[in-house]
Amino acid sequence: MFGFLRAALLTDPLIVLATIVMGTASLATSLFDATGRAQHGVARLWARMLLAIGGVRVQVEGLERISPDASYVFVSNHLSYMDTPLVVAHVPCQFRFLAKQGLFKVPFIGYHLKRAGHIPVPRGDARASLRTLTESARMVRDGGVSVLVFPEGGRSPGAMRDFKEGAAYIAIKAGVPAVPLGIVGTREILPMDSLLVRGGRVRLRIGEPIPTSGLAIHDHRQLTQTLRERVLELTGQRD
């Protein structure tokens, strides 16, 4: 989301205005709600505003497969900075993000991330990364929220990359279903080498949740492969 914001702020004054208004509202709600739920509601409204301002028309498939009151680990391909606003706007679940640790040190943004319950991800420290995954699983299991993960580790300029195994680990550790998401068309809306948000049509396809009950932690590699295969199917891609 924050990468999208950096790009969009340079090109559209309406996005600047919407961000100032909704950012202020989000910060204000955080003073009265320590759970992050109200902030997520503000973020969802903000994401819908961004899509509307950008002229992005969204087709969503598979909403009937998930419950707004349940907890999941959502696992998606990553084409563009537009992906996060797309998911935030159209998946009706309370979820949090795993964000780069450096963002938590940025004035205002870092404070907001912490207040909203998002989780900092350390780089280059295996033990710290494992603690982060374990804390994410605890938050999902005990906090009644979901987590959104882009397991390719960054935007893909072409064919889908291999998936990192953290999402599967969180889902198994938390004992919640992993839900594959397939995003189509956002690369054309906001290409990697562009700062211009273009109007157009995108699709968000929600796959069948994959239960993790009965799985052990050592099954996370197989679950990772299964998730990647499901996301490939949802996006119409092949290896």
* pLDDT the model gives residue 70: 95
Residue ranges with strand state E in the chain? 56-61, 73-76, 95-100, 119-121, 146-149, 178-184, 200-206
d(CA 159, CA 190) in angstroms, rounded, equals 17
Strands in 56-61's sheet, in edge-to-edge order, are 56-61, 200-206, 178-184, 73-76, 146-149, 95-100, 119-121
Q: What is the pLDDT of residue 180?
A: 98
Q: What pLDDT is attached to residue 116?
A: 73
Domain housing 219: 2-235
Q: What is the CATH number of the domain that holds 204?
A: 3.40.1130
Per-residue pLDDT, 133: 92
Per-residue confidence (pLDDT) for residue 18, from 0 to 100: 65
pLDDT at 104: 72
Give the position of tokens 């949090």. 96
Q: How many structural domains is the chain composed of? A: 1
Profile the chain (239 residues) by mean pLDDT over runs of 10 residues.
Answer: 48 64 65 72 83 92 96 95 90 85 66 74 78 91 91 86 94 97 93 80 98 95 97 90
In angstroms, the CA 32 to CA 38 distance is 9
